[in-house]
Structure formats: structure tokens, C-alpha cells
Structure 1
Amino acid sequence: MVPWDSLIRFAGEDSAEYWAALAMDEMPKVGLQLEGFASIEDLESNKGAKKVTVKKLLAPTPNQTDPIYCIGLNYRNHAEEAGLTIPANPPMWYKPAAALSNPDEDVPFPLCTQSNFPDYEGELTVILRGPIKTISKADAAPSILGYTVGNDLTARLFQDPKRSGGQYTFAKAFDKFAPLGPRLVHPSKFKPGEATVTTRLNGKVMQNSPLDFIVSVEDLVHFLAQGTTVPYGSAIMTGTAAGVGWFHKPQVSLKDGDVVEVEIQPIGILKNKIVFEK
């Protein structure tokens, strides 16, 4: 039996990084006093526990050095909103490791993004146990470590086919453009088909949709691992629903000081402030 329902990763008062188990009815927040462990493996084997205070919540992934896998056009309502044909295979791209950012962290938007329709995308994010390669669909579910919330931040006009040939990576690969958090929920405690993603911009609901995937989480894991080693702890952002982009009416792009909240319960709310660099 796995000894946790949900986990948080955090910096303690000694500035070291820890993992701790958190009850599903307990909110991840600064100030909690918990039994901290150096790794998930140590936590699961109850090795080296230390009483620590949460000073800063960190993105709940054990892998902060490999690229983040991203999936597009995985909701029919988003494809219809954008007027795009759903392809036979899901579009995918990478965000570099430097794109990872933490819950409650300010996200800096460099000058080149500020006039290129800066945008948000609330997404369920999968964290893998891994490493995996060329696994069957039946083996996909056991390879999932847990679920968290993500925000696929984008400088949208860099995706425009007339400007950049329709490529996605440059538009989405800026530093800190992949906030994750606030907690990691065990697969036994979260069923994507029973959940909803809600994204708020300065408190106003912009996205509100069931997690009604075209390609299921298990099928995505199987697809991405074909002939490819997917490292331990990799994050997969599973796509976004309607309510984003220049195709959304009314068009709303991010501004300096905006606050984006992405909520998927029972995981929680991922909150970040947008800061335009001078």
C-alpha cells in the first residue's frame, strides 16, 4: 500500500528541499509543519524523516532537469473554438526544464512576449514514475506517479502560421512558462473523467470544462513512449479546453500584474502572477 494520498514538494526553513505527505482535506500552504523527506523513495520507505516547516511551495515533480512534454488539441471544444481539424495523432512539443516554475511564483514575461498575445492554458498534468519506453497501453496506468495542475503559458502570436510556420515550441518555451502545483495527487485519489478544469483571470472565469480528453491519459503515455525513453518524474501537460487564444471571443491577452488561477479539484488551485519585464 502506498503511504500517501497526496504529496507536496517544498523548501524548508533550512533552505533544503523536501517531500511530505499531505491529507487530501489539508490545503498546501506555507507554515505547515510536516515530516519531510529528501525524496519520494525515502518517504515511501519512511527513511530519514525530519520535522520541518514549509517556507516555499515548489513544483511537485521529482524531475526538474528534463524537458516537459506538452500536448495540443486534446479537447473537442478547444479544437472547435480554434477552427482546427483534430489530427490522427495528438500534436506535441517540449518546454525546456528552465520553463518549470512553482505555485504562487511570479512569472516574468520578457519584452518579446508582451506584444505577441501572451496567453494562459489551464491543464491537467501527469507526473510519471518511469523511466518508460515502448510500453503497452495496459502498462501506462501503473507508470503514473500522480496528477497535478499546470498552466501552459504562451506568447500566442509566435504560433501564427503566417509568422512562424505554425511551430509551437518557441511560443511556449520561455523561462518559467510552465507553472505546476500545488500538490501531487495519487492516481487512486483522482479520476480525470470525474474532474473539471476552471481557469480564472483576475477572478473572472475564462475556462470551465470537464476533463473530456480526445486522447486519454493512458493513451498519451503509450503514444509518447513509442521508441522513446521518457525519464523518471517527467511531466506531461495534457492539453487545454476552450476559452483561450486569439480565437476566443472576446480576445483577452495577459497584462502586467494579471493573476491566473487554474483549479482542478481535489488537486487544488495553481496561482501565479504575471510580471512584464522592463
Structure 2
Amino acid sequence: MDNFKYIFQFQTDSRERFWAKCDSPEPVLGISVTAYPAFEDLVENRHSTTAIVGNLLPPLPQMNLPIYCVGLNYRSHAKEASGQLSIPAHPPVWTKPAAALSAPNESIPVSRFCASHLPDWEGELVFVTSRECRDITPEEASSYILGYTVGNDLSCRFFQLPEQSGGQFFYAKAFDKFAPIGPVLVSPDTFNEGKATASLVTRINGEVKQNTIIQKDMVFSPEQVLSWMSQSTTIPAHTVVMTGTPAGVGIFQKPRQLLKDGDEIEVEISGLGTLRNEVIFEDGQDSIM
């Protein structure tokens, strides 16, 4: 594949799936583009056709792999926990199942069970691996990163309480559609041009909740995270890694500000675009703690 800047995956109105390149991190819906039936076709520049962009899909070559997640990777997030959390010696890692994946602009259906157990947001920088790796060093890791995008590690905070899940994070974050990702995949070279000053901003209904300079706040770099994950562990090509969240999540607001039915979440990262999703409480909500 020629060096790309921005690529995205989409469906047409007839639900055919395609990949395409674009000139910015914000693909335009409703336009005609040169499209490829599969990621491999885009890579090889073969089987191109013309298609009209209907709705965006996650910009991921594989959508059936577990999604890796990292916790406590921003100094500001550990600090806002008021002593409940501390920065560990190594990145805490867990996964979300593939069923957690959801698309840019997709309405996230939240069951009554989830809506009633402290639903919260986490804007995150995401990277995708380019090839299989195992036992790599941080210095080697950059050559295994295909690109970067934006994610939201939606969480039910109640199940993160030590007395509920023994301090484990998986159950609180593994619900269906709780990992929206997109809108585009940005090449490392393109993202690196502005990485030193890149900011992460999360808005709820237009109000800023999270706002940080990623490199100044992040504890473990993507390369350090991928190296740590790969020790004695085979990481498949096209694995998604959500790299943690900064201060400003709802559970630590005073008073708590948790997600409500109809809330629109926007996660914007400089150079990577804006991920937008609305949460819909399909069956209502019981009283939150």
C-alpha cells in the first residue's frame, strides 16, 4: 500500500462494506469515493470500485478480536481518584470482547442493567497493530503499529468497586457496544507530526469533561504498552489497544456526573478526528447509587 494518511471503513446504503482513503480525519458522508471491498485490497491497490459513503464502521481490519485496554495510564486520572488509585510499575492490561465494538456515530444501546450501575465515559487514544508480535522491546514496538484512532472505554463503575469484582476491571467494561472506535485510522507518520502537543478532549452534550495534552499526562507510551503486552504472549495482527484515560471521568466529578439517556459523547484527539456516539437507555433505569 502506498503510504496513507487517513483510511476509513464504511457501509453503503445497501450495506456493502468498503475501505477508502480520505484527506482529513473527518470522512464525509454521502459522497462518492474510490473504494476497496477489503482492507487487503486497499493495501494491494486492487479491485477498486466507486461507492457512496453511507455510514462509518470502525476503521479496523479485524473486528472479531479481543480489544486490549490499559488502566491508570494518565497521571491526572490517578490523582483525581484521591488516593483510591496509584500509578503501578507496569501497565495494567485487560480485554473487552469483540462484541463490545461499536462504530462512529452509532447510537449505543444501554440495557437497564447497565444504565443502573454507574455508566461512565473514558476518552482514549487507540492504536492498532500492523502484524503479529511476541516478546518485542519498546524500541521495536513502533514498527508494529499500523495506525492510531480514537476510542471510548465505556464503563459501569459499580462493577469496578473492589467489593464487587475484587478489583478486576473486565466485567465493568465488557458489555455489548461498550467500545466505540473511529472515525479514521491515521498513519503513525501523520499522527507523529503533531503528537508532542496532541490533546484529548471529551465532551458530554457539548460540555468539556476531559482535556489534556496526551504526552505530558500519559505514563506508558503506546510502544511501552505494546512491548509489555507481548511478553510471552502472541499479539495478533490488527489488535486494537485502548491506552487509558485522563482526569475528568464522571465517577470522580463532585457530585458524580454519570451518563444519562440521550447523552451525546464526543471524544476528540488532535489529528485523529472526533468520535461521536449517543447513549440510549432502551429499557429505562433503576435508581443509581
Structure-1-length-normalised TM-score:
0.96
After superposition, residues 11-90 of structure 1 pair within 5 angstroms as 11-24=11-24, 27-82=26-81, 83=83, 84-90=85-91
Tell me, what secondary structure is at the counterpart of 2:181? strand
Following superposition, the deviation at residue 33 of structure 1 comes to 1.1
Tell me, what secondary structure is at the counterpart of 1:69? strand
Q: C-alpha separation between the residues in 2 aligned to 1:132 and 1:38? A: 27
Tell me, what secondary structure is at the counterpart of 1:140? helix
Q: C-alpha separation between the residues in 2 aligned to 1:162 and 1:238? A: 25
After superposition, residues 144-223 of structure 1 pair within 5 angstroms as 144-191=145-192, 192-211=195-214, 212-223=217-228
Task: State the aligned residue count.
Answer: 277
Runs (4+) off by over 4 Å: none
Q: Which residue of 2 aligns with 1:254?
A: 259
Tell me, what secondary structure is at the counterpart of 1:176? coil
Tell me, what secondary structure is at the counterpart of 2:202? strand
Q: C-alpha separation between the residues in 2 aligned to 1:27 and 1:107? A: 20
Cα RMSD (Å) of the superposition?
1.3
Q: C-alpha separation between the residues in 1 aligned to 2:7 and 2:246? A: 26
| 2:231 corresponds to 1:226 | yes
Q: C-alpha separation between the residues in 2 aligned to 1:12 and 1:115? A: 35
Q: State the identity as a percent.
A: 46
After superposition, residues 119-134 of structure 1 pair within 5 angstroms as 119-134=120-135
| 2:272 corresponds to 1:267 | yes
Q: Which runs of 5+ in 2 are unaligned?
A: 284-289
Following superposition, the deviation at residue 147 of structure 1 comes to 0.4
1:87-146 C-alpha deviation (Å, 9 max, x unpaired)? 111111110000000000010111111121100000000011121111122221011110
Q: Which runs of 5+ in 1 are unaligned?
A: none
Greater mean deviation of Cα atoms: 36-45 or 157-166? 36-45
Q: C-alpha separation between the residues in 2 aligned to 1:162 and 1:251? A: 20
Structure-2-length-normalised TM-score:
0.92
